[in-house]
Structure 1
C-alpha cells in the first residue's frame, strides 16, 4: 500500500494531470460509468462531515472529508480529509492519500476546466476570492494550466500574503469584481460575495463554497445575468447548493447543464456563465487513481 502525502501529490500531479482527471471524471459520471451512492453527511460537533464512496472498473475509493471553520484560528486548513483507494478486483488497499490536498487540487481543476470550456485557456484577468488552501490551489493550477495575464486576489485577510506567494495582486473586493474576466470564489461565506452589479458584461464565475441550502456565494443579480449555469451534478446541487436551490425557485436560472454532458456534446457554451460545484465522489476517484498511477510510474 502506498501512502501519498501532500508534498508527493504536488510532485507527481501536474496541473494538466488534475484537469485531465477532472475531465475524465465528469465524462464518466455523465455516461453512467462511475457509481457513487449519495454521500453521507454528518454533523460532528457542529461541523460538516461527508463520506463519499465511488467505484469504476478501475478503482474503488472512499473519501472522508470535513469542513471545520474554526481551524482558521488553529492555523489549519478548513477542509480536512483522507482518501482510501482500493482495487475493485481484489479488494486490496492500493493507496492512502492526503484528502485535504487532493480535494483542493481536484476542486481547483474543476474550476479551471469550466473556464476552459466557457472562456478558453487565454484569460486576461483572473480573480480569486479567498485566501485559504482552496484559493492557493486555484491559483497554482489556474496559472499552471491557463494563460493568464493578470491575477487578482481578495479576501477579508491574508490576501496580501497569498498574492505575494502566487505572483498576484492583492486588491479590494469591488476592484476584483469589476476587473476580472473569470472569478474563482473559494470562500466559507454564507452570504453572497459575487455581486452581479459589479461584474463585466461577459464573465465566468466558478463557485466552490456555500455548500448548504441556506448559504450563498453568488447573488441573484449575477445569476440572472448568466446565460449558462453549469453544475457538476444536477442532483447534488439540487440537494445541497443554496446558489442553485434558491434562485431556481425564483426562476432566475437559465440553461442548466452538467459539465460532463457539456464536454460530451462539444457545443460552444454561451457566456456570461456560472459553474456551481459541490463536489462529487467521481472526482476523488479519478484524481486518486491518477495520483496512484503516477506514483507507481515514478516508483514512489
Structure 2
C-alpha cells in the first residue's frame, strides 16, 4: 500500500487534463448505472461536519472520509481535510491512502473545467471567477486548461488575498493570460462570458440584474448545503438550461432547492450533465447554469487515475 500526500498527487499528474478525463469517464459510468454509490453519510457537529463517501464500480472500490471545519481558516489550517482509501477489487486489501483535500480540490476543479469545455460558447475567451479561496484557484486553473482564455477576471470580498492568489495562479497556466482583479461582482460580470462562483455564501454573490446575466455561462461550485445560495432569482427566470452533476444536487443545494420551491424554475428545465456529454450536442448561446455538489463516483475515478499514474512513476510512500 502507498500513501500519497499533496505533493505526491500533484507530481503524479502529467496535466490537469488527466483529471478532467477521469471526471468525464465518471459521468459516462453514472449515465449507464455502472456503479454502486450509497448516499453520502453526513453528520453535523455544530458548524463542523464529518462526511463518509463510499463507491464501487467494475474497476475499483474506494471510500473518502472528509471533515469540514470552517473555523480552521482562522487558525491557518484547511477547512476541508481527510483521506481517500482505495481497495483491491479481488482481495479488498487497501492499495492506497491519499490526501482527500487535494483530491477533492482537483476533482471539483475538473468539474468546472469539463463544464467550461462542454457549455461555454466556442468563442469564449474571458472567464470570471468569484471567490479566491482554494477552490477558486483550481477553478481558474482548470478553466484555462479547458479553454484558451485570454482574460481571467477574479473578484473576492477580501482584497488583501488577491496578490497572493494571482501569484499562485499565473505559474499554473502554460500560456500568457491577462489576469485582472475586479473591484466588484458587477465589474466582473460586465466583461466575463463565463462566470464561475466558488464561495460558501448563504446569499447571492452576483447582482439580481437580468441585463448583466443574459447570454452568459454560469458554473456554480460553492453552494453545497440547503441554506447556501450563490445565484439570484433573475438568473433562473432567464436561464434556458440548467445542468447538474448529480441528481442529489436537487436536494442538497440552496441554488436549486429555493428556485424550485419558489417556482422560479421547473424541474423539466433541469438535466443531468452526463446526458450532454453523451449527446455531444452543440454549444448554446443562451444563458446557461451548471450546478455541482460532487459525488463519490468522481472521487473514485479521479483517485484511480492518480493511483495508476503514481505507480507508473514510482511515486508515494510505501506502507507495510
TM-score, normalised relative to structure 1: 0.94
Task: Give the Cα–Cα distance (whole angstroms) in 1 for the partners of residues 213 and 230 of structure 2.
Answer: 17
Q: Is the 8 A contact 1:185 1:217 kept in 2?
A: yes
- SS of the residue corresponding to residue 123 of structure 1 reads coil
Task: Give the Cα–Cα distance (whole angstroms) in 2 for the partners of residues 269 and 229 of structure 1.
Answer: 13
- Can you list the C-alpha shifts for 1:230-269, whole angstroms capped at 9, x where unaligned? 00112x1122111011101233235211111211122235
Q: In structure 2, do the counterparts of structure 1 residues 39 and 144 end up closer, same or farther at CA, with 3 Å as the change threshold?
A: same
The equivalent of 1:253 in structure 2 is 265
Higher alpha-carbon deviation: 112-121 or 30-39? 112-121
The equivalent of 1:264 in structure 2 is 278
- Can you list the C-alpha shifts for 1:53-109, whole angstroms capped at 9, x where unaligned? 101111111111222221221112222221111122210111111110110110011
Task: Give the Cα–Cα distance (whole angstroms) in 2 for the partners of residues 82 and 121 of structure 1.
Answer: 37
Task: Measure how far apart 1:15 and its partner are.
Answer: 1.1
Matched, 1:164 2:167: yes
Q: In structure 2, do the counterparts of structure 1 residues 221 and 48 end up closer, same or farther at CA, with 3 Å as the change threshold?
A: farther
Q: In structure 2, do the counterparts of structure 1 residues 134 and 27 end up closer, same or farther at CA, with 3 Å as the change threshold?
A: same
Q: In structure 2, do the counterparts of structure 1 residues 108 and 24 end up closer, same or farther at CA, with 3 Å as the change threshold?
A: same
In structure 2, stretches of 5+ residues that fail to align are 171-178, 316-320
Higher alpha-carbon deviation: 191-200 or 283-292? 191-200
Task: Give the Cα–Cα distance (whole angstroms) in 1 for the partners of residues 43 and 283 of structure 2.
Answer: 36
In structure 1, stretches of 5+ residues that fail to align are none
1:123-272 equivalent positions in 2, closer than 5 A = 123-157=124-158, 158-167=161-170, 168-172=179-183, 173-197=185-209, 199-234=212-247, 236-253=248-265, 255-270=269-284, 271-272=286-287
Task: Give the Cα–Cα distance (whole angstroms) in 2 for the partners of residues 49 and 178 of structure 1.
Answer: 39
1:31-180 equivalent positions in 2, closer than 5 A = 31-120=32-121, 123-157=124-158, 158-167=161-170, 168-172=179-183, 173-180=185-192
Q: Is the 8 A contact 2:153 2:180 kept in 1?
A: yes
Task: Give the Cα–Cα distance (whole angstroms) in 1 for the partners of residues 265 and 9 of structure 2.
Answer: 37
- Mark the structure with the bigger radius of gyration: 2
Q: In structure 2, do the counterparts of structure 1 residues 169 and 190 end up closer, same or farther at CA, with 3 Å as the change threshold?
A: same
Once superposed, what is the RMSD of the aligned Cα atoms? 1.6
Task: Give the Cα–Cα distance (whole angstroms) in 1 for the partners of residues 212 and 307 of structure 2.
Answer: 40
Task: Give the Cα–Cα distance (whole angstroms) in 2 for the partners of residues 11 and 196 of structure 1.
Answer: 42
Task: Measure how far apart 1:131 and its partner are.
Answer: 1.2
Task: Give the Cα–Cα distance (whole angstroms) in 2 for the partners of residues 6 and 180 of structure 1.
Answer: 32
